[in-house]
Amino acid sequence: MKLRRWIAAGAVAVATAAVLTSPATAGRPYDPTDQSLRNLALRHGLAVGTAVDLAALNDPADPRYRELAASEFSTVTAENAMKWESLEPTRGTYNWGPADELVTFARQHDQRVRGHVLVWHNQLPGWLTSGVADGSISTAELRDILRRHITNVVTHFKGRIWQWDVVNEAVSDPWDTPSTLHYKGFWAEHLGPGYIADAFRWARAADPHALLFYNDYNIEAFGSRDPANDKTQFVYDMAKQLRAQGVPIDGIGSQGHLGTQYGNFDTFQVVEALRKFAGLGLATAFTEVDVRSQLTEGVQAGDEAEINPRLQAAAANFDVLLQACLAERHCLSFTVWGFTDKHSWVPGWFTDPPEGMATIYDENYQPKRAYQALKADLIYSGPPYVLPRIPQRPRR
């Protein structure tokens, strides 16, 4: 059975490669380097994704964005359009337009959708946070509002979402106060950590077929293994507990926001973390990968001695995460958080010191070393150590 599936996946890849040969390559022998990331990933059963900025997608002056979003990726995530402040800016009035547009775009291009995000402490609508702050929304009502939000949103997109980020960034970091890791943020403060299990149950009730993920950053690899300061261990323990309680969680999303100024990890460390989550019966995914760099004066002045090491280090880090994902058969998708430096959240978010250069294409849509590293990983991998994905069935 397994072998047959592998052969089938290989046949699909070859057939797709033949069909998708573009006019520019017609008549030439098959060259994998001509292929898109999404086509090369087919052989591994892996989805390659990007976050999509709806404004860029709809900008007629920027057609390349739309072309690459369609051609290089097999899954898309709304960078902001499915967040609560975007969907329900006024209490009781949903604005589905931009999110629906992305779902339509995905369908037109035979892409799957990662739903992002149902429960998060950021980008909440003002009416909600101010209502809680001034006491006009009670704790009981807040829980009810959350249940209805999850139910409404999941029901609206029912059948169209492959993976939902149900809960995002619920766990603190060692630099928070107190430094002992804990459940942080608006929802834990007002409802207690039980909101996490509730959220998964409400999401499952609204869509029995979507894969339900917990999503967080800085969980690429284990550290000390002490849940008091090792976030990966804390999240692992949380997931284990949720599974033991029969909570319908299907996967762990590792955001993968890295920076070249940090030590980061080697492939084996990342594989180990993915394996541990798989050991709990969970799928995994890289959900928001980017690798930012500090934009020193030298970088900004075009000094190649400063630019080159950053480009190389970024490529190496993209490569580590994708290799690890390929190596672990429950790692279902690899999504980048924007694909071009022309549209990346990094320069707007990390300003002191200024950071950027975080994506796989430069501002002019030229593929960077990081893009070629991803492509090479997809081409030069296969049995016995890289095998097709094992599909995950949604848990009841």
Nearer to ligand XIL, 80 or 392 (CB): 80
Burial zone of 212 (CB within 10 Å; 0-12 exposed, 13-18 middle, 19+ buried) = buried
Token pair for 1: 């059975």
Closest by Cα among 32, 1, 36, 76 to 390: 1
Residue in 73, 187, 345, 371 binding ligand XIL, rule: CB under 6 A: 345
Q: Which is nearer to ligand XIL, 349 or 385 (CB)?
A: 349
| 169 carries an active-site annotation | yes
Shortest gap between Cβ of 78 and ligand XIL (angstroms)? 9
Backbone angles phi, psi at 333, to 5 degrees: -150, 155
| Among 198, 250, 288, 377, contact with ligand XIL (rule: CB under 6 A) | 288
Rounded to an integer, what distance in angstroms lies between the CA atom of residue 133 and that of residue 142? 11
Active site residue 288: yes
**Min CB(28)–ligand XIL separation in Å:** 39
80 binds ligand XIL (CB under 6 A): yes
> In the range 14-53, which residues lie near ligand XIL by CB under 6 A?
none
Q: For residues 212 and 252, what is the distance between their CA atoms, to the nearest angstrom?
A: 9
Q: Which of 168, 254, 317, 323 binds ligand XIL (CB under 6 A)?
A: 168
**Active-site residue, selected from the candidate residues 169, 220, 328, 355:** 169
Using CB under 6 A as the binding rule, the residues of this chain from 228 to 257 that contact ligand XIL are 255
Which residue's entry shows tokens 């150590």? Answer: 385
Residue 163 CB, nearest distance to ligand XIL (Å)?
A: 13
Nearer to ligand XIL, 168 or 172 (CB): 168
Which residue type, as a one-letter code, is found at position 345? Answer: W
Judged by DSSP in three states, 165 sits in strand
Q: What values do phi and psi take at 275, rounded to 5?
A: -65, -40
Which two structure tokens, joined as six digits, stand for 191? Answer: 């409802």
**Distance of alpha carbon 332 from alpha carbon 211, whole angstroms:** 11
Binding ligand XIL (rule: CB under 6 A), the pick from 79, 198, 220, 319 is 79
Please report how close the Cβ of residue 66 comes to ligand XIL at its closest, in angstroms. 18
Could you list the residues that contact ligand XIL (CB under 6 A)? Answer: 79-80, 168, 255, 288, 345
Annotated catalytic residues are: 169, 288
